[in-house]
Amino acid sequence: MQDSADGAMAAVAGPCASIPADRMAFVRQVLDRVGDKWSMLIIAVVEDGPLRYTDLQRRIPGISQRMLTRTLQQLQQDGLITRTAYAEVPPRVEYALAPLGRGLHEIVLRLIGWAADHHDEIRAHHDSLEGRTGSPPGS
């Protein structure tokens, strides 16, 4: 490995080798955000055009208002979605994929599809591990 100016180590081989060490922390932050379950689901459902907040809530079962609001703000901050507020009574706000988010959309759909396609197999692995250890995986 190679030292960078800030003392961080750069990867010698593999996918991380092409990322300068001084950018790695930011790349990890972006991956953490776009790899978050709620971010992926939001990116997946806004494909059909602008959606209002309540439409997003209906299309993503289990997401709380707080988490939806927070995730939308983060995705907007990263330039992955847009937020358009209309000066109407009552106020109307719509969310849509930004050009940067469109590039991520197909990847997210493939990941969600893979998880759905392999649900039974993954569940069986969890169940077999839980049976051997007496506790759920990850505990």
What CA–CA distance (Å, rounded) separates 122 from 138?
A: 14
Mean pLDDT computed over 22-29: 85
Mean pLDDT of the chain: 85
Domain ranges of the chain: 35-104
* HSE toward the beta carbon, residue 62, CA cutoff 13 A: 4
Instruction: Work out the pLDDT band at 8, boundaries 50, 70, 90.
Output: low
B/e letters for 110-132, b = 16+ CB within 10 Å, e = fewer, are: eeeeeeeeeeeeeeeeeeeeeee
Q: What is the CATH number of domain 35-104?
A: 1.10.10.10
Instruction: Work out the pLDDT band at 11, boundaries 50, 70, 90.
Output: low
Q: Mean pLDDT check: name the lowest of 13-17, 98-102, 115-119.
A: 13-17
In angstroms, the first-to-last Cα distance of the chain is 34
Instruction: Work out the pLDDT band at 27, boundaries 50, 70, 90.
Output: confident
Helix locations, 1-139, DSSP H: 21-34, 37-45, 53-59, 65-77, 99-117, 119-133
pTM for the whole structure: 0.75
Question: CA nearest 41: which of 87, 85, 95, 1?
Answer: 95
**Are 70 and 90 within 8 A, CB to CB?**
no
Confidence at residue 2, expressed as pLDDT on a 0 to 100 scale: 44
Instruction: Work out the pLDDT band at 58, boundaries 50, 70, 90.
Output: very high
Among 7-21, 59-73, 95-109, name the most confident range: 59-73
What CA–CA distance (Å, rounded) separates 85 from 81?
A: 13
